[in-house]
Structure formats: C-alpha cells, structure tokens
Amino acid sequence: MPRQEAAAALPRCDVIFEGMPEILELKREALAEASQLAGEGPIIASTTSTILVDDLAGSIERPGRFLNAHWLNPAYLVPLIELSPGRLTAPETTTRMKTLLEGIGKVPVVCAARPGFIVPRIQSLAMNEAARMVEEGVASAEDIDKAVIYGFGFRFAVLGLLEFIDWGGGDILYHASRYLADALGDNRYAAPPIIETNMREGRIGMKTGQGFMNYEGVDQAAYREQRLAAFASALRAMGLAREPVG
C-alpha cells in the first residue's frame, strides 16, 4: 500500500496486524512506520512466530498498545492464536485483543514473552523426537506418523497435555519418565521439578482432587463420561467407530 493511502487508512483501524517476513530489522521498520502513520488509537500486533515482543516494542510509538499475536497455520482454519504481551503492553490492550479475536470465532491464549510461545515450543520437541526415532530405526516414518495421528494426536485433540497428566496421575508420569531417562541414557526424558513438587504436595491429579487443574467439587464420573463421549465422537469423525452388534 502506498504511504499516502496507508496514512489515510491506518488511523481508522481498531487493530493493525503486521505480517512481514521473520527478519527483525524488516519488522522493526514496518512497525515503526505503521505506528507513526496510525496515530495513537489502533492496537498494533506482530504475527511473528519467532521474535520476542520486547525485541519489537521499541519500534512502536506508545508501546503500551503493542503485543504479539501468533496465528497458527493455516490461519484461516486453526482457531488458536497465541497472544504474547510484553513488559510495556498495557493490560487493556491484551483484553481488547482477546475480545476481538473471540468475536470472530478464534481461541486466544496468553503466554509470557518467552521464545517459542506455547505450541511451537511443544511441537519442536515432538517433531525432533519423531525424526530421531526414524534415525534410530525405532519405526518407519509411516508408522510413526500413524501412531501420532491415531494415538497421540487423537487423545490430545480431546484432553490437553496437562489434563492428561491429571487424568492418569502425575506419579505415573514421574516414574515413567525416570525409567525412560535411565533406559535411554538421556536426561531429556526426565520429568521437570514441578512434577515431583506436585507429588510431594499431594497434587497428583483427579484421584487427589488437585493436579495442574482443580477437581474439587467436580463429578468425576460425569467428567470422565463426557470426555469418553468426545473420544467416541472423534472416532466417528475419523470413520473408525464401530456400531454395537445386535
């Protein structure tokens, strides 16, 4: 867009999303110009997947209205958007952005200004581990991906990772992690200190009423039935459900 047109259009915006390539200086230049042309009103957000919000905020006039908003690809299908406010981001900026995104059917989550946001940090570990298993001859690429789709991905489309820990019990994860770390000779499989701390403090999961989530007052039988129904629905969507015989 020519600068003259941008100068006329940007001040009328409620929110401006920057979507330049992942080059720090290029983004800084674009954000500086956009914030200058837009005036004081619009929220400005970078859609960066890698650059920390505080590394960009210095380019913005009035940085309290700036944050990162990472849309996961394909952005027109994936509902999740990771919002990362910086140390200068005003709380009302994050609130306004969440309200806007929820209003268009998206699912915003808020994360601290740390490298990798939430999903890229988790998926980078999973993707590297899958590649490593091919390298080690654990299974074929086809069978590893089949295991991910019909086991790993299937379950975690219904239960979140932390909810799944609570479902089985943090103690199960702790002992399984110790075995894997010893058997594979790699401490990357060890559980983080929070798992042992939760165990020591009795926050094992559903069976103690507290884990990463709070289950006090929850009808656990109804909760499990609801989650199992969601699994059954997912099976039907995948064409794998078998109707009862007779």
Domain segments of the chain: what residues? 3-110, 119-237
pLDDT level of residue 246 (50, 70, 90 thresholds)? low
Of 22, 64, 62, nearest to 46 (Cα)?
22
The reported pLDDT for the residue numbered 205 is 96
CATH of 119-237, one of 3.30.450, 1.10.10, 1.20.1060, 1.10.1040: 1.10.1040
Residue with tokens 């594979």: 184
Task: Please state, rounded to an integer, the average pLDDT across all residues of the chain.
Answer: 94
Q: d(Cα 68, Cα 152) in Å, to the nearest integer?
A: 29
Q: Say whether pLDDT at 223 is over 80.
A: yes
Helix axes 170-184, 193-200, angle to 10 degrees: 140
Cβ atoms of 134 and 144 closer than 8 Å: yes
The reported pLDDT for the residue numbered 1 is 62
pLDDT in tens, 145-200: 999 999 999 999 999 999 999 999 999 999 999 999 999 999 999 999 999 999 99
The reported pLDDT for the residue numbered 6 is 80
The reported pLDDT for the residue numbered 242 is 78
The pTM assigned to this predicted structure is 0.89
The reported pLDDT for the residue numbered 202 is 94
CATH tag, 3-110: 3.40.50.720
Q: Say whether pLDDT at 36 is over 70.
A: yes
The reported pLDDT for the residue numbered 241 is 82
Q: Say whether pLDDT at 245 is over 70.
A: no
Edge-to-edge strands, sheet with 107-110 = 15-18, 43-46, 66-71, 80-85, 107-110
Average pLDDT for residues 71-93, to the nearest whole number? 96
Q: Say whether pLDDT at 99 is over 80.
A: yes
Kindly report which listed range (5-9, 11-15, 79-83, 98-102) carries the lowest average pLDDT score.
Answer: 5-9
